[in-house]
């Protein structure tokens, strides 16, 4: 609570943070399923096993890399 921009609006800020966290998880599951099915089929056509899982893991790793870069721009606590 100490790092939020306004002490008067901290409930709104926490609700927004919670929504952003949950929304990402809700969207990731169907997206990963579609990507898994698509790339498993493509991999099967070319004789590559587990291509769908490889794509999902690489996508997850890229999200972590982007998040790391964005978080490094945070200078400090106000």
Residue from 52, 32, 33 nearest 42 by CA: 52
pLDDT, one tens digit for every residue, the chain (78 residues): 667 777 778 888 888 889 988 988 899 899 999 999 999 999 999 999 999 999 999 999 999 999 899 888 877 755
Tell me the two tokens of residue 71.
């978080």
- The Cα 17–Cα 22 span in angstroms is 9
pTM of the model: 0.68
């Amino acid at each position: 609570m100490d790092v939020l921009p306004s002490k008067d609006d901290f409930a709104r800020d926490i609700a927004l943070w919670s929504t952003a966290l949950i929304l990402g998880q809700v969207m990731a599951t169907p997206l990963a399923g579609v990507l898994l099915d698509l790339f498993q089929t493509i991999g099967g056509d070319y004789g590559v096993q587990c291509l769908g899982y490889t794509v999902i893991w690489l996508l997850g790793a890229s999200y972590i890399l982007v998040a790391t870069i964005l978080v490094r721009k945070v200078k400090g606590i106000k």
